[in-house]
Structure 1
C-alpha cells in the first residue's frame, strides 16, 4: 500500500498467522481505488498492502502486525483477521469511513501542513479531518 515514491521497506518472509476475527465495516475493495489506497496509507503509514479485492493482506513492517480480509462465510460482507500490537484494519476502516462520509473526494481535496515538528495531511480544510504522519 505504498503511496510514496520510494522502495518498500525491507521485510523477511512472513506467514499468515491466526488472530482475532470480526466482521469488516467496509468493503476491502475500497483499497483498490487510488484515493482509497491513499487514505488507507495515511491511516497505516508503515503497512505494506498485498492482495486485492475482497482478499487484502496488510503487513506492518515495523511491528509485524497483520490484517487480512476475506468474504464472510455466509456470503454477506467480509471478515477481517488481525494480529499484532497495531490494529491496522480498524485504523484503515476509520479513515475510509471518514473519507466516504465526506463524499469520497478526489485527491485534490487533500492538503498538507508541515511544521518543524509535525506533518499533517487534512481533508478539505486544515482544521478538518486529518492524519498525522511520522517524521
Structure 2
C-alpha cells in the first residue's frame, strides 16, 4: 500500500535483458521523495458500500510480511487505523474504500465502496501468504521484463502480483 514499506532485491540480468531474483532479508527504510508522497486523504466515512463479514482479522497487518502481501494486492491504497480498532483503506485515484470494523459479538465487518474491492484483494493476498506458511519477505522474488514486472512467492511460477509499470 502506498508508502507502507520497501525492500531490496538482488536481481540477475539475463542475456535478453530480463532480470529476476529474490528479495533480501533486511528491511529497508528511507525517507520518501516528495514526488512519491501519497495524495491527501478524503474524509474517512464509515458504513458505505457493500457489507460482509471478513475472512481474516485485520490485526494480521501488524506482521511485516503480511503487510507486504497486502501492499502487493493494493499498491495504491492508503491505510489509517482508528482508535476503536477500525481499519480504513482508501485508494484516492479510483475512489475505492474499505472500512473494517470490529463487531460487538466478535469478528469483523467490511464495508467496501468503489470499483476496486480493496479488502477482498487484501484478504486473497493474505490467505495465499498464510497457505504458503507465512514466509518472510525474503521468500518473495521479483521478475522484470520489457512488458511486465511482477513479484512472486516461492518461485517465478508461484503465486504472483503484477506491479505498476
Fold in common (TM above 0.5): yes
Instruction: Work out the CA distance in 1 between the residues paired with 2:162 and 2:70.
Output: 13
- The aligned residue for residue 56 of structure 2 is 26
Mapping 1:1-135, distance limit 5 Å: 1=1, 2=3, 3-4=5-6, 6=32, 7-17=36-46, 18-51=48-81, 54-75=85-106, 77-135=107-165
Cα separation, 1, equivalents of 2:122 and 2:144: 23
Answer whether contact 1:72 1:78 (CA < 8 A) is retained: yes
- The structural deviation recorded for 1:74 is 1.8
SS in 2 for 1:94: helix
Structure number with greater Rg is 2
Cα pair 2:77 2:91 within 8 Å, conserved? yes
Residues 50-75 of structure 1, C-alpha deviations (whole Å, 9 max, x = no match)? 11694211000211110011112322
SS at match of 1:37: helix
5+ long unaligned stretches in structure 2: 7-29
1:125 partner SS: coil
Question: Aligned Cα RMSD in Å?
Answer: 1.7
Q: In the TM superposition, what is the alpha-carbon distance from 1:82 to its structure 2 partner?
A: 0.6
CA displacement, residues 87-133 of structure 1 (integer Å, 9 cap, x when unaligned): 00000000000000010000110000011121100001000010001
Report how many aligned residue pairs link the two structures: 134
TM-score for the superposition, normalised by structure 2? 0.75
Structure 2: distance between partners of 1:19 and 1:66? 9
Q: Select between 48-57 and 91-100 the one with higher mean Cα deviation.
A: 48-57
Using the size of structure 1 for normalisation, the TM-score is 0.91
RCO higher in structure (CA 8 A, sep ≥6): 2
